[in-house]
Each structure stands twice: as structure tokens, then as C-alpha cells.
Structure 1
Amino acid sequence: MSLVISHLARRFGPTPVLRGIDLAVEQRELIALLGPSGSGKTTLLRIIAGLDWPDAGGLSFDGDDWLARSAGERRIGLVFQHYALFPHMTVRDNIAFGLSVRPRGNRPDRAGIADRVGRLLRFLQIEGLADRYPAELSGGQRQRVALGRAMAIEPRVLLLDEPFGALDAQVRRDLRRWLRGVHDSTGTTTIFVTHDQEEAFELADRVVVMNAGMIEQAGRPDEIYDHPATPFVARFLGLTVEVPVAMRAGRAEAAGLDLTALPRRAIPDGPATLFLRPADIQPLPDPAAPFRVTEIVSTGALLRIMARDDAGCRIEAEIPRRDGRDLREGQPVALRPVTGQIFPAGGTLAARAPATPVTLKEAFA
């Protein structure tokens, strides 16, 4: 079974919010929709959930046209950032709600509902909270209850919209690991929205990077991290140092930069831009180098090194503090990137989104 999104478009007045989204999500996959605010992530999630409708395009699940189905008929589980629990109901009643309001013909009997809720309470490790009210719970406990309520209806697809955004950093990390375990145990197809890169890369089988209503790149987390396909993806994933270079016979060249560690690229000769992460740049003392250290800032374990040449090119490097003991402000340094991504002037390395939905097998080939 797969969820297939094809050429999906949505406008709010004159503003395009989704501009031709194509994506296939396979059964048991955990997909992260990653991107900045306004990229269309939540709108896409709402359309999948049946809370909004597109202006064009298709949406089907296992061959069934979901655009002809109401939200209730799709049997979607939804978890929001701010929980949306019923404050006047206990944890037990919140989890049971989706089952108790089903039409009589599809509703389990009272004993069946109690049994399913009891199993979920044990599975989610909140059995001791069953008779408490939401106001008596911590943020992490409320999010588990919200997930339990979504799972109670045995959803075909579980949708999570910034599920950990309202929690502090340590609770988020703990719940991320826990959620991955829940997903693997249940085998539910899961799609979650986030702007947190660490969250997306830790949790997801595939990451879909969105920007301005389009899919910039989709693939395995390591693939996207190591090989961003567009300048937007590179910048969004932390390749914030941009250096003009010249390409000659597949090699990048730039004054003051030792680029020998970078492999040859199939890029035509001419101007290009090298995108780097500060942590992937090694500053090396060199009296003949055109760059000079202008600032050294310690963050505890790391040193941030600012270097500048006479032409005004400013580059930031980040190294372990123990590796920077010999560096001083004013010192000439050569800069040696160990990895990076290169884009030809005005170009990208791959098409943004395929014209037809891509299956999991094809995407991982």
C-alpha cells in the first residue's frame, strides 16, 4: 500500500502555496517534510488529512482516490504541536475519544474500547496516568497521550505536525528516540512536519526538503546531508560558507584555498560557487597564504575562526579547540576544505522534483 501525491497545487488567493508536488510514500515508511516556515509543509499535511483541498492534482492511498473521501473516511491519525487534548477528559477518555464517536456500525463495544485503550496505555508507558487530566501532565506526557489518541483508531497513515516543537530540548531528544521505536513496533506509515534538521535526520527513513511550495530534494538523510542538490538545500543544511571558484577540468581552484581534498566534479569549466560547512574547513598556518585570522571565538569545545583576504573574502571555520592552539589573530592561514558541494554559476546539480511520483524502490536505487 502506498500514498501517492501527484502534481498537487494549492493557492491562497493570489499566493501559490503548493506548486506541483509529486511524492510517493510506501507502507511502513517514516517521512519527514523538512523546510522553513512558509514552505508549504503544513498545507500539504492538511490536504493529506482531509482538512484542506487542493486546487489541482491527485491524492490516492492504495489506489483509492482520497480527494473523493472525507477526513473521517480516510482514517488518518493526527498529532499536533500543541496536543489539542480535551481538558475536561481524563487521559483514558482522551485516548478513547476517536473510538467512542465512530458510527454505531463501526464502533467497538465498551469492553473492546477499554481493552484497546488499556493496551495503548501500556504500550505508550503512561498506564499510571490513565485517570489524570491534561493539566496534571508534563508536556512530554501530553504528547504521548495525543499520540495514543491518534493511534487508537488504528490509522492507515499517521500525520504529525511539529510534534515536539513545544517541548524543551532534552524532552524532544528523548521523545524522538521513543517515537522511532513506536513507529518500528507498529509499522504505521508516518509523515511528520518539522523545521528541525536534527529531528528529521534522526527519525526519518526519507527526508523531503521543501521550499516555496516545491520539493527541492527527497532522499535518504545521509544522501541529502552529503549531496545537497540545490543551493537552497545546501544553505538550509548548514553549508553557509560560499566561495567563488573557477572550474578547470573538473577541479575547483581559488586563491588561498587548498581544494585538493575535493573530488573531481562533472561541471563545465568556468565560474562556480563552492558551498562549505564551517566544520569542514581546516585552517593551516602558512606565512605565504592570502588569508589572515581576524577573530577567534571559543564556544567551549570548539573554536570559531574568522579569516579574511585582501579582496574582502571572509570565511568562517569551526575546529575542536585542541586543534587551534597554534592559531593567533593576525596570523596568515591557508584554508583546506575536506568536503563541500559545488554548483555552476546559476545552476543546480539535479532536477527539483520528478515529473511522476517516485516509488521507494526507485528512490533508493
Structure 2
Amino acid sequence: MSIAISGLTKRFGQTDVLCGVDLEVSKGELVALLGPSGSGKTTLLKIIAGLEWPDAGRLAVNDQNWLQLAAQDRRIGFVFQHYALFPHMRVRDNIAFGLSVRPRSERPGKAVIAAKVDEMLHFLQITHLADRFPGQLSGGQRQRVALGRALAIEPAVLLLDEPFGALDAAIRRDLRRWLRGVHDATGSTTIFVTHDQEEAFELADRVVVMGEGRIEQIGHADAIHDHPATPFVARFMGATVEFPVTLNSGRAEASGLDISALPRRALPDGPARLFARPEDITLIPDAGAPWRIASRISNGAHLRFVLSHPALGEAEADVPRRTANADALTPDAAVRLRIEAGTIFPAERGIATTSVRSPGFEPVKEKSR
């Protein structure tokens, strides 16, 4: 089933939760909605499911207007973070639930339902759990049952809201590989919500990055990581060190920074802001450089440096502990910063262009004029 969303808006009270969302999902595609809490991703998922209604916009599945359909008429499979299994029902009855509560005219016979349940149990490799109650299952097992219940109705669209959020890291890694295999085997059109970047990029065909009710960027892991479309995406993807720079003929320049590795940017001359990750900053001892090492901490594999600049403040860099010049990188040493990778945007209103922004450091606000 293909999904077409256009101009979708939603407001709760005075808060704009969705601000004109446009999105197309192809048949059989697995798409992740990725973003921080409050970005609107779960609200968008609920509107697709028919659990919320937009204030404006269009939602069509296979060219059918789903905003005219009640939730029970949309053939949606929905898997929640906390399983939502019926504790008094055995596993096989939980999986059968969606089929057994259909209107009588659409309800399969008992034998057909039993066969479908057996098929799901075998497909999800939980046949041995068929007669257990949810309270007798592990978290990972319960999530498989929840997915089996969603798949049993042969949904037009499968929706997953933080499906592994309540599980520990090791189980999450195993289950998301398993879920990708389930998706490929069923060919379902799937949308899932997560705030976990690793989860989104490992599972999805495409990732939709959302922030404050808007889609900031859509793409694949490498493109979003290497070429964030907006400052919001850059920060969300970990580019948490920001340097004020000046653009001149597409090249960025700044005191104490070697930015020669970055390509030219088709941006107007003038003030701009360079976004980089701590691990993409190389420290080069240079007695004449304005940066000083304020502190050095080792975690065994990497050295984390706090750097200070007399005019710009502080920044952070993360360097492999066995790097060639590590012995020379001592507290109070003067260093030049070579930026190996980064993204440049025009200077933002409301953020001073004369300070560095690093993790744990708040941007300086410009004074109102």
C-alpha cells in the first residue's frame, strides 16, 4: 500500500504539533520517523492509524481518502512500545484477537483463524509459547506476540511506535534485525517511530528526521549523517561543536582552524557557522595557535579534550588514544584545530556568531534591536 500525506497540520490547544507535513511512502517500504520527544512523530503515526484527526491536510492510501475512514476500517496493524497484550489471554488468543472481533460478516471461521494463528506462531518462531500467558514471557517474547497480533489481520499498513523502547540494548539489537527480516518476508508497508538513530538507520529504507512538527530531512543514513540539511539535523546527528566562521568565495575561514579539507559551499560571503563532531576534529600542536588544551580525559580508547580560545570560549574534541601525536597533547599545549568533516550554514538569527557552541554549553543570544 502506498501512502501520500500532504499539508497535514495538528494543534493541541496553543501548541502546533504538526506544521504542514508532506510525505510519500512507497508500497513495501520501511520508513522510520526519527526525532526527539515533541517533534510530532507519534502524532503523525496516530493520524495514519485513525487514533487522532488532523486540523487540515490530506491522507491517502492507494489513492483512497483515509480521513473518511474510521480506525477500524483502515486495516492497520499497530504495535505499541508497551505491548498492550491482554494479560488474561494466552499467546494464541492474543494473536487471534484482531480476527475474532471483526464484524460477523467479515470474520473468518474458527478453523481459518486457528490456521492463521499457527502460521504466525511458526513464522515468528514462538510456537512453544502458544499456551503461555503474557506474564510468563520475557519483554522480547511479548513484543513478538504483539507483532504477531498486528500481522495476523494482514494489515494494509503496519505501524510501530517505539517498538523496542522498553527493552534492554542487547535484546533491541537482536529484535530489530529480526524485524527487518519479518518486513522483507511479508512485504508490508511499514512506518515506525523511534528516537534512536542507530535503530532508524539499521532498520529503515529511508529515514524521516522530524523536529518541532516539521520534516527537516528525508534520506538514507550516509546522506543524513554527512550532509545534514538544516542546523537542527546537524545538531541532532551529533554535530555538537559549532564554530563561527567567515565565508569568502565559498571557503570558510576562522582563527586557529584549518578548514581546507571541506569543499567549497555555494553560500554568500559573510558570517556563517561551521558544525562539526568532536571526533572529526584533529589537534595539531602549534605554538602560535590561539587554542589551548584546557583538560584531557581518557576513557581507554579515546582522549576527550576540552579546548579554550581567548575570544570564542570552549570546544571539545575526541581523539583516538593511540594517535601519533597524543603525547604532545597535554594540558595548556597550544593547538591548531583541523576540521576533517563538517557542515556550514549561514549564521542563524538568535545565535551569536562570536562564540563556540559545544555539548553542555548554551549559545549566547543576540540582544534585541
- The yes-or-no answer on 1:189 pairing with 2:199 is no
Amino acid at match of 2:83: Y
Kept after mapping to 2: 8 A contact 1:143/1:163:
yes
Look up the match of 2:167.
167
1:327 aligned to which of 326, 329, 337: 329
Kept after mapping to 2: 8 A contact 1:8/1:19:
yes
Look up the match of 1:300.
300
Using the TM superposition, give the Cα deviation of residue 104 of structure 1 relative to its aligned residue in structure 2, in angstroms: 1.8
Q: How does 1:1-365 map to 2 (within 5 A)?
A: 1-323=1-323, 324-346=326-348
Distance 1:333 1:259 in 2: 14
Give the secondary-structure state (helix, strand or coil) at the position aligned to 2:255.
Answer: coil
Give the secondary-structure state (helix, strand or coil) at the position aligned to 2:272.
Answer: strand
Give the secondary-structure state (helix, strand or coil) at the position aligned to 2:142.
Answer: helix
Give the secondary-structure state (helix, strand or coil) at the position aligned to 1:229.
Answer: coil
Give the secondary-structure state (helix, strand or coil) at the position aligned to 1:207.
Answer: strand
Using the TM superposition, give the Cα deviation of residue 145 of structure 1 relative to its aligned residue in structure 2, in angstroms: 0.6
Distance 1:254 1:230 in 2: 21
Amino acid at match of 1:164: F
Using the TM superposition, give the Cα deviation of residue 303 of structure 1 relative to its aligned residue in structure 2, in angstroms: 1.3
Amino acid at match of 2:243: V
Distance 2:220 2:321 in 1: 32
Distance 2:225 2:148 in 1: 32
Identity between Structure 1 and Structure 2 (%): 67
Q: What are the Cα deviations for residues 247-287 of structure 1, in whole angstroms up to 9, with x where unaligned?
A: 11111011111111111111111100000011111111222
Deviating beyond 2 angstroms after TM superposition, the runs of 4 or more aligned structure 1 residues are none
Kept after mapping to 2: 8 A contact 1:204/1:221:
no
Look up the match of 2:352.
none
Give the secondary-structure state (helix, strand or coil) at the position aligned to 1:106.
Answer: coil
Kept after mapping to 2: 8 A contact 1:256/1:290:
yes
Distance 1:184 1:157 in 2: 14
Kept after mapping to 2: 8 A contact 1:205/1:221:
no
Using the TM superposition, give the Cα deviation of residue 307 of structure 1 relative to its aligned residue in structure 2, in angstroms: 1.2
Distance 1:190 1:300 in 2: 40
Give the secondary-structure state (helix, strand or coil) at the position aligned to 1:105.
Answer: coil
Structure with greater contact order relative to length (CA < 8 Å, sep ≥ 6):
1
Q: Which runs of 5+ in 1 are unaligned?
A: 348-365
Q: What are the Cα deviations for residues 88-122 of structure 1, in whole angstroms up to 9, with x where unaligned?
A: 00111101110111112222211111111111111
Distance 2:178 2:42 in 1: 23
Kept after mapping to 2: 8 A contact 1:281/1:318:
yes
Distance 1:72 1:285 in 2: 66
Using the TM superposition, give the Cα deviation of residue 295 of structure 1 relative to its aligned residue in structure 2, in angstroms: 0.9
Q: Which runs of 5+ in 2 are unaligned?
A: 350-369
Distance 1:68 1:46 in 2: 15
When the two structures are superposed, what TM-score results if normalisation uses the length of structure 2? 0.92
Distance 1:330 1:304 in 2: 14
